[in-house]
Structure 1
């Protein structure tokens, strides 16, 4: 077992962000799969299933990369991980804060913090 000082960061799987061609159409399709809209903007949407797992839909005009989102429980955890990764934290218009970094095999990972009053 690794000790904590060897870990880059930890977090619980929160969402998977995927590219899509037609945001409105895909939002409706995910609704038919039991997902609900948490957040929707012109350049991305977050859909959640009944257990809270998220699918972020990224249309062609989105500046967000496809990625795996991992949630941390506190802002302090996010700050500590960002310092280790030498990455800036970005506050978002939906109230969350996060940073992107490289994950396994060069895949992009977003480490994200949802504040206690987050309502999507």
Structure 2
């Protein structure tokens, strides 16, 4: 068995949307609540904490799977293994993007204790 690259808990999926405000309202009707809302993306969470990040046209974020790690040390170790820089975000989280399985993008993200219970993405 080959060495594990990194591990984390599935935190969110980031998907494209055509109209951010409309998509936010539609996800609210599905039982999600708004955790973070900016002009270029929104994070919606269900009652169990699973997130859907909405990416409108022009968003700087790529569609991806977000995996949450528990410590900054885990994030640093994974970033070093992947050869990727860690980026701090405006909401207090830190993360990096890397290539996942079949070319799908994976974001490994750390939510410091002072952020919301599940954090709020990049």
- After TM superposition, the score normalised by the length of structure 2 is 0.94
Aligned residues: 117
Once superposed, what is the RMSD of the aligned Cα atoms? 1.0
Question: Aligned partners of 2:83 and 2:69: how far apart in 1?
Answer: 17
- After TM superposition, the score normalised by the length of structure 1 is 0.95
Residue 22 of structure 2 is aligned to residue 25 of structure 1: yes
Q: Which runs of 4+ in 1 moved over 2 A?
A: none
Matches within 5 A, 1:29-108: 29-108=26-105
Gaps of 5+ in 1: none
Question: Aligned partners of 1:96 and 1:40: how far apart in 2?
Answer: 15
Cα drift, residue 61 of structure 1? 1.6
Q: Which residue of 2 aligns with 1:111?
A: 108
Cα drift, residue 51 of structure 1? 0.3
